[in-house]
A and B are shown apart, each in its own frame.
Chain A
């Protein structure tokens, strides 16, 4: 058993499943968007807002943004631990990885906030 404090769930299986489930959510969400655009070839802004502000799409959108965060963290964490490892670079790796993971976490956090802000402006209108 390899212990890793910074992995999302600390369980390989949970991470593995989360990554797959989040991918499915993102895929389905993508399909909904593409499907809407295909079904309404001459869509205008009002129709778009109306579609995005529907409760189902709001919830789905929120779920997708969270999924994106989860998916990104697991993926980026894995890449970081592949390339920035003590095995290859010694103690230096811990420091480098901390910076890398900090940056990734910050980016994901910002994306989450901005994403949610954009999404939830639809029902309430922009300022």
Chain B
């Protein structure tokens, strides 16, 4: 198999290039894309990418594999490689620091903008705050986000307005706190979202849903925020 990797090493490369590596796939089993990268890196240590848990929960190794965003550690080569060719590029829409490593600060800033923490103005009880199973079920599909940025960097609206549109990941987290029965700041949260960019730049392209490695649905969360805004506006 030919593995084609986006390379850009500041101080060495004037501009980005694609570097090809030959890779022998085992016959008896599939590999994850990260396994391929790790084996290539053992020979060419200069290839840079982020990785940590290698089991799809830390969200480090989001990248673009043959045109589709996903986590290298939970994407089997057979699923993405086409015609014996695997093309690895950094996540689109964010500045490249080096090779497959992108500068995520814009992404994190948008996450921070939604105040991703519980706000509750009543003094906490001696034990836990009670929450019914039904109320808790509303957080399913929201709290599992691993901040890998696969969704946000596949969103055209984010490519156009990364500084103004919150992007699917941040909006999913925004709704995670709006939906939490223990959070009392719903009105304040909604008021901060009611501008023409933050939420409403979502055009329902649904690339986010398509690229989420955890099978979450940011578009649905965004629509639920819109519904809440409509309800609070009337």
Contacts and interface: CB of A to CB of B under 8 A. Distances in A.
Partners in one complex: yes
Interface of A: 1-4, 7, 10-17, 78, 81-83, 85, 87-88
Which of A1, A7, A13 is the most central at the interface, judged by chain B CB atoms within 10 Å of its CB? Answer: A13
Given A82-B160, A85-B161, A4 B197 contact: yes
A55 B193 CA distance: 41
B64 to A, nearest CB: 20
Interface of B: 157, 160-164, 191-201, 226, 229-230, 233
Contact of A87 (B163, B195, B233): B163
A33 to B, nearest CB: 29
Given A81-B161, A87-B163, A88-B160, A3 B230 contact: no
Majority SS at the chain B contact face = loop
20 contacts: A1-B191, A1-B195, A2-B164, A2-B195, A2-B198, A7-B196, A11-B196, A12-B195, A12-B229, A13-B194, A13-B229, A13-B230, A13-B233, A16-B226, A78-B196, A81-B161, A81-B197, A82-B157, A82-B201, A87-B161
A15 B162 CA distance: 20
Nearest to B199: A12
A12 B161 contact: no
B195 A4 contact: yes
The 5 closest A-B pairs by CB, nearest first: A12-B200, A2-B197, A82-B160, A12-B196, A7-B196
Contact of B196 (A15, A17, A83, A87): A15
A36 to B, nearest CB: 34
B110 to A, nearest CB: 11
Contacts of B157: 82
Given A16-B226, A17-B230, A10 B160 contact: no
B189 to A, nearest CB: 11
Nearest to A84: B160
A85 B161 CA distance: 7
Contacts of B196: 2, 4, 7, 10-12, 15, 78, 81
Contacts of A7: 196
Given A1-B193, A3-B195, A87-B160, 8 more contacts: A1-B191, A2-B198, A10-B196, A12-B200, A78-B201, A81-B197, A82-B157, A83-B160
Contacts of A14: 233
A87 B109 CA distance: 15
Given A16-B200, A16-B226, A17-B230, A11 B194 contact: yes
B128 to A, nearest CB: 33
A17 B231 CA distance: 12
A68 to B, nearest CB: 20
A1 B199 contact: no
Contacts of A2: 164, 195-198
Contacts of B197: 2, 4, 12, 81
B163 A10 contact: no
**Most chain A CB neighbours (cut-off 10 Å) among B191, B192, B200, B233:** B200
